A and B are shown apart, each in its own frame.
Chain A
Amino acid sequence: MTLSQIIANLPGLVVAIPLLLAPVVALVPLSSLAWVLAVVGTGLSLICAVLIQGSVTGGASYSYFLGNWPPPWGIEFVVDAASALTVVIMSGLAFIATLFARQGLLAEIAEKDAGMAYAAWLLACGGLSGLVMTGDAFNLFVFLEISALSSVILIALGSGTDRRALVAGYNYLLIGAVGATFYVIGVGFIYAVTGSLNMADLAGRIPDVPQTTAVMVGFGFMMAGILVKAAIFPVHIWLPAAYSFAPSAVSALLAAIATKASLYVLARIMFTVFSGTPDVTAIAVEFVLIPLALGGIFVGTILAIYENDIKKLLAFSSVAQIGYIALAFGVASTAGVAAGFVHIGNHAVIKGGMFLAVGGFAIALGRRIDLDSMVGLGRRMPITTIGFLICGLSLIGLPLTAGFISKLYLVRALIEADMIFIMGLVLFSSALSVAYLWKIVEVLWHKPTVSTPVPETPGLYLPLWMLAIGNIWLGVAPAPLIEAAGRAAMQLVGGM
């Protein structure tokens, strides 16, 4: 294969490399070799994603035909500003989480399971990238299930340390399968009225068919299914248990990328597939998405304030942060969608970092940690703690961190759209989020009962610090991300 051929096939490779490596990794008996292959897989995927992002900076967009079947017959991968940006964010975070997995995953699962675990890991990464790249409504369901089933396996691997991980995995499987089936019902309705499955083709056909109940029902089912996958309140119930009982490395991977892919799909369906029926999407946004997003923000934040288990606390906080992204998409203006994409990137870096830090604590202490067992860790594990703090300050939106940029753009989009009351709620909820972060910070610097320093290994804190520095970098020099998010928003809602 020549270089030009490789470049032409980049959109396929970014998904195919992890998927093809997964069965190879499953057969590797050595856990260290399996890890090397996983790093190679996610690393190559990241390189492909960066090259794809480079090819769309001029606002270009192109599509890649699988098996050289042109759409609307064949399955198409769409490369535009929006999908390229999301895939770069996701593969970058997946790569860093894989670096952490070398020590992070093996500390919590049996050595003999490592090969299979990395296989599921790669399948999850490949499935989620496919979710973002695909331009076919039914193909999206297949990627949805590839990523969901492999995530369930990864979550259930937490049973080595806590048997409740099995139940968390089972519940995610059940709720996720119902959600995905809802999505398929919706696709069925839309296919029945339009006769097409290609997203771009659908966008052109939907306004032309009679606007019967079937279109509305199809839209409703598709959205309901994606809301489950994106863990938007009140169908977020699978998320706290899944994130808190999964192995630490898996929590970091899923928190950073899993719901982000579904949120991207949400935007894609609302703004591309149903772009021709703005009255339908306007109702969905006004009466469903924005109220649910606000509900998620407050329920997540308040539950986080009262939670004692640190991973569950972060998971509740994720529910709230997903609410912010959904709210930004709900504004449905170019500025709003851009703010949503900015927060997709920033929240991936923030929450990925925080879960890596908590994983570092848990592995160093050799057990599950709640607030009580974190007492004084700031003095005993300073390197990990400072990394955690940087991500935490970014979460509440301190200036010069990534979180501040997110909040700034979200608030600006809300003001532009004359949603002053909602803006007030967002600022109030940000203030509330200080409460749960402060709770953690306070115990971290308490005088510890045992003051011996805990050894910290670079394999655990270097990935964390990459993300901590990423938080500061995105806060000080946010221009590249904001420009890319702006282009993505233009691509999706440019006409509105």
Chain B
Amino acid sequence: MTGPLAILADSWNYLVVICLMMGGLFIVISQQNLVKKLVGLAIFQTSVFLFYISVGKVAGGTAPILMKATDVAYSNPLPHVLILTAIVVGVATTALGLALVLRINAAFGSIEDDEILAMKAAASVPRARRDASSSEGAQ
């Protein structure tokens, strides 16, 4: 069996990784809603977790627990350990991101990127020099 079908049959797991990766990254870039952006980021990171786990799997391999039999193939446990670390990092990133979104919502009253951008533009209009020096004199 050759051609696209063979690729699909042999490495469908990598195709899943690619779809999730591109989908997640697209959400991060295209969405205006700050929570949806974080969802996209989580999907993007998850695709990398799956990638590592796929790489670590040995065909026909079993869990890497030492057995008496000598002809056993073990799967590589190291990628799992790495991804355990990466999952923790991912959780921390998402938690911090959501906490920031809460604070942004409290400060701006919106979690839509374009609305916040408009408010930021309004806030960054330079104050008149007279206004600045008079407020300073009041101190």
Contacts and interface: CB of A to CB of B under 8 A. Distances in A.
B82 A153 contact: no
A142 interface: yes
A71 to B, nearest CB: 14
A170 B104 contact: yes
Nearest to B81: A138
B132 A159 contact: no
A169 B136 contact: no
A373 B103 CA distance: 29
Interface of B is mostly: helix
Interface string A176-214: 011011001100100110000100000000000000000
A419 interface: no
Contacts of B133: 373, 449-450
B120 A164 contact: yes
A398 interface: no
A149 interface: yes
**Most chain B beta-carbon contacts within 10 A, residue among A153, A185, A197:** A185
A112 interface: no
A372 B129 contact: yes
B97 to A, nearest CB: 5
B96 A152 contact: yes
A149 B96 contact: yes
Interface in B90-120: 92-93, 96-97, 100-101, 103-104, 107-108, 116, 120
B123 interface: yes
A370 interface: yes
A450 B107 CA distance: 34
A153 B96 contact: yes
A305 interface: no
B20 interface: no
Interface residues of A, number: 39
B137 A145 contact: no
Nearest to A375: B129
Contact of A142 (B85, B104, B137): B85
Contact of B100 (A142, A169, A177, A366): A169
Contact of B132 (A141, A142, A164, A372): A372
B93 A366 contact: no
B89 A145 contact: yes
Interface string A121-157: 0000000000000000010011001000100110010
B100 A188 contact: no
Nearest to A452: B137
Given A149-B92, A450-B133, A173 B126 contact: no
A163 interface: yes
A192 B126 contact: no
B120 to A, nearest CB: 5
A306 to B, nearest CB: 13
B92 A145 contact: yes
Interface in A219-250: none
B92 A159 contact: no
B104 A370 contact: no
Contacts of A365: 136
A170 B139 contact: no
A408 B89 CA distance: 42
B97 A174 contact: yes
Contact of B101 (A170, A178, A180): A170
Contacts of A308: 126
Contacts of B127: 372
Contacts of B34: 170
27 contacts: A138-B85, A142-B89, A145-B89, A163-B108, A164-B120, A164-B124, A166-B103, A166-B104, A166-B107, A167-B120, A170-B101, A173-B96, A173-B97, A174-B97, A177-B45, A178-B41, A178-B44, A184-B48, A185-B21, A188-B51, A192-B55, A197-B82, A365-B136, A367-B136, A370-B126, A375-B129, A449-B129
Given A164-B123, A375-B129, 12 more contacts: A138-B82, A149-B92, A152-B100, A156-B100, A166-B100, A167-B116, A170-B34, A184-B48, A185-B21, A366-B139, A372-B132, A449-B133
Interface of B: 21, 25, 28, 34, 37-38, 41, 44-45, 48, 51-52, 55, 78-79, 82, 85-86, 89, 92-93, 96-97, 100-101, 103-104, 107-108, 116, 120, 123-124, 126-127, 129, 132-133, 135-137, 139
